Amino acid sequence: MDSAALLDLLGNENRRRILRLLARKPCYVTEISEYLGVSPKAVIEHLRKLEDAGLVESHTDDQRRKYFHIARNVRLEVNVSPYGFASKSAYPSNNSFDITTCRHLSLDISYDETDELDELLSTLKRMEQLENELSLAQRWVQGRLCDVLDRISETVGTGPESRIYADLLAKIREEPQGVTALSQEIDAPREVVADLLETMADEGIVTRTERGWELATSE
């Protein structure tokens, strides 16, 4: 699901409360209504939106009572920094994913479906600790990322547009790009991007080639 749409969906407090409740157990509309303190009609509308987004599903029991439950795992990440606002959503990878292919991670976390309860509980604890450590690592990386961008901006630019320099250099370092593509990627006016590239070209930082703008090679 698109991260912006997911942010809008979860921006409603009652929908977040519904998901917290359903994370504990499946519930029917009346239960949710009593928990939220809102009308069943309002609950049904919230559930409809959550179902349309694929976050919630329902099933009917033997008494033909309709129960709602969370359909899948979704991770939403939101980063806000002086260099931009970004969000992304993702579903967990399947169990066959080989995490050792991630160049910057070295983990040895495994379990067997035949493990006894004690071993499963131990694995659960390790996974919870790993989740906390990854959260701390993500916060550390975001801080270091901003530090590096600050230093790039101070090195090549001054004034109110200095932060855009870092964004531009990061993009063209990956691959040569034209002004239009760069303006779309960093969400800045085309005229501003063109002027900044010309300024950096005059200083020998970037150069325009047949492939687009790219970093100038050091001789």
Block means of pLDDT (10 residues each) for the chain, 219 residues, are 88 95 94 94 96 94 92 87 82 72 70 76 87 87 85 71 79 90 87 90 90 80
Is the same domain home to 163 and 210? yes
Give pLDDT, residue 110. Answer: 64
Please give the pLDDT value at position 70: 94
User: Does one domain contain both 145 and 192?
Assistant: no
Residues 170 and 205 in one domain: yes
Domain that residue 47 falls in: 3-70
Say whether both 118 and 152 belong to one domain. Answer: yes
CA 23 distance to own-chain centroid: 21
Q: What is the largest CA-CA distance in the chain?
A: 79
Residue 181 C-alpha from the chain's centroid: 22
CA distance 115 to 121: 10
What is residue 163's predicted lDDT score, i.e. its pLDDT? 74
Say whether both 187 and 145 belong to one domain.
Answer: no
Within a domain: 75: no
Asked whether residue 206 is assigned to any structural domain, the reply reads: yes
Same domain, 188 and 162: yes
Mutual angle of helices 13-22 and 3-10, in 10-degree steps: 90
Strand partners, 78: 87
Do 149 and 114 share a structural domain?
A: yes
pLDDT value of residue 219: 46
Domain count for the chain:
3
CATH of the domain at 21: 1.10.10.10
Residues 203 and 166 in one domain: yes
Q: Are residues 151 and 162 in the same domain?
A: no
In angstroms, rounded to a whole number, what is the distance separating the alpha carbons of residues 151 and 169? 12
The predicted pLDDT at position 40 comes to: 96
Residue 163 sits in the same domain as residue 174: yes
Q: Quick check: is 115 in a domain?
A: yes
